[in-house]
A and B are shown apart, each in its own frame.
Chain A
Amino acid sequence: KAGVTQTPRYLIKTRGQQVTLSCSPISGHRSVSWYQQTPGQGLQFLFEYFSETQRNKGNFPGRFSGRQFSNSRSEMNVSTLELGDSALYLCASSLTGASEQYFGPGTRLTVT
């Protein structure tokens, strides 16, 4: 069974730009969660999508948004990038949000 894939793996953007990250979950998994990981704040939950609906949302500003498609693939978008958005963005898929999660390798975003 293919694992969770994330694209791109690395990204360098300039302050003020926007970025879209993609995540393809394991086949059959309907829940996709996104996390931001930084050295200072650790792993922070961004949002969870289940069957194309955002089911839970973390404490992040509205610049962070996401969506899920009918094939369960998910995208997250960050608009008006700030230096503090530099982080490893991890996507995880699961059968249900609270069951064991399978993580992708992450997208390393650097904002300059």
Chain B
Amino acid sequence: SQQGEEDPQALSIQEGENATMNCSYKTSINNLQWYRQNSGRGLVHLILIRSNEREKHSGRLRVTLDTSKKSSSLLITASRAADTASYFCATAPSGYSTLTFGKGTMLLVSP
């Protein structure tokens, strides 16, 4: 079964608005990562947050991690049409050298 579960499954917003996606996971982790996938292509790494970090920024992206609630959120500010994609969270469970992906959130940003 999937370690991470994203919420919502789909999100539709207008350009300029902010988009927030959430991820919940089940076991203790070393790090949590967010990836983007454009329509059937390979995934692109966006940001990695370690288990001892609470918040991280990268450009228009802001990621938070709450290990007590086993959850993370990805905020994309001032969305653009080019942000339209599926977004996945991936967790690196403690003691494992692999990533486990959630099913993703489909984001549609309309001009």
Residues of A within 8 A of B (CB): 4, 31, 33, 35, 42-43, 45, 48, 50, 55-56, 88, 90, 92, 96-106, 108
Q: Is A96 touching B40 in the complex (CB atoms < 8 A)? A: no
Interface residues of B in 21-63 (CB under 8 A from A): 30-31, 33, 35, 40-45, 48
- Given A42-B2, A98-B30, A100-B48, A105-B42 contact (CB < 8 Å): yes
- When distances are taken between beta carbons in the complex, the residues of chain B under 8 Å from A99 are 48
B101 within 8 A of A: yes
- Report Cα–Cα, A56/B99, bound state, in Å: 11
Number of interface residues of B (CB under 8 A): 24
- When distances are taken between beta carbons in the complex, the residues of chain B under 8 Å from A97 are 92, 96-99
Q: Is B42 touching A45 in the complex (CB atoms < 8 A)? A: no
B20 within 8 A of A: no
- When distances are taken between beta carbons in the complex, the residues of chain B under 8 Å from A31 are 97
Most buried by B among A4, A43, A99: A43
